[in-house]
Amino acid sequence: MKRQSLVLLLGSLFAVSAALATTYVRVEKDGTKTYSDRPLPGGQPVDLQPAQTYSAPSPVSTDSQRPREEQLLRQADDFRYESCTVSPENNTTFQSPESVSIAVSTSPSLRSGDVITMTVDGQPAGPPNTRSYTMSPAYRGTHTVGVNVADPNGKVICNSTSVFHVQQPGVNAPARQAPPRPRPPPPRPTPH
């Protein structure tokens, strides 16, 4: 490892010294030019110009130079909710409920002008901006709750879904059947 480090160090020093070295040129009798990094008899040092570089221009307009209204519009276009969540949580199972309460929350709080649309099994659950809904009666099966939050222009900026299950034992379910009647004891033999 030390040997590799030493080789790299010497290589980089050689590259730096070569870059800083003076170059010499000599014009031969036939007009050809001979270049060298060492002084040549009859040669002259070459005056090398620094390499041309490029610097990108600074941005013409920054947000602080824009009108306040335009800044607000850009912020509105870039706004996103951190989360919009539905309860009950996904894959929750309810056993024989009379009803199921459904709620929506957003983080940060709902902005003025934004609209929440909640659906249960594809059907609207109340008017726009309904944040809680009670499904009553709670029918047996799997149910899907969907929530969309849209800005005043109708652009959806947050959505969430949750699936929950309702189990209702049927009339013929073993848990609901009447217990079997006890059998009468067998007759005892009579002595003769």
Residues 93 and 140 occupy one common structural domain = yes
Does residue 36 sit within a domain? yes
Question: Can you give the residue range of the structural domain that contains 26?
Answer: 2-45
pLDDT tens-digit series, residues 125-160: 989 988 999 999 988 999 999 999 988 888 888 889
Q: What is the pLDDT of residues 30-65, one digit of tens each?
A: 988 888 888 888 888 888 777 788 887 766 555 566
Same domain, 94 and 159: yes
Instruction: Give a yes or no: residue 89 inside a domain.
Output: yes
**Res 166: pLDDT:** 92
Q: Is residue 92 part of a domain?
A: yes
Phi, psi of 174 (to 5 degrees): -55, -35
First to last CA, the chain: 110
pTM: 0.51
Out of 20-34, 109-123, 159-173, 176-190, which region has the weakest mean confidence (pLDDT)? 176-190
- Could you tell me if residue 23 is inside a domain? yes
Q: Is residue 134 part of a domain?
A: yes
Average pLDDT over residues 153-174: 82
CATH of the domain at 162: 2.60.40.10
B/e letters for 148-168, b = 16+ CB within 10 Å, e = fewer, are bbbbeeeeebbebebebebee
Residues 86 and 155 in one domain: yes
Nearest-CA neighbor of 116 among 168, 143, 152, 166? 152
Residues 86 and 89: their CA atoms lie apart, in Å, by 6
Give me the number of domains the chain comprises: 2
Tell me which of 73 and 14 has the higher pLDDT: 73
Which of left, alpha, beta for 171 (phi over 0: left; psi -120 to 50: alpha)? alpha
The proportion of the chain whose per-residue pLDDT surpasses 90, expressed as a percent, equals 24
Tell me, yes or no, whether 158 and 88 share the same domain: yes
Residue-level pLDDT at 82 = 84
Residue 177 included in any domain: no
Q: Look at residue 142 and tell me if it is in a domain.
A: yes
Q: Burial level of 144, CB count in 10 A (0-12/13-18/19+)?
A: middle
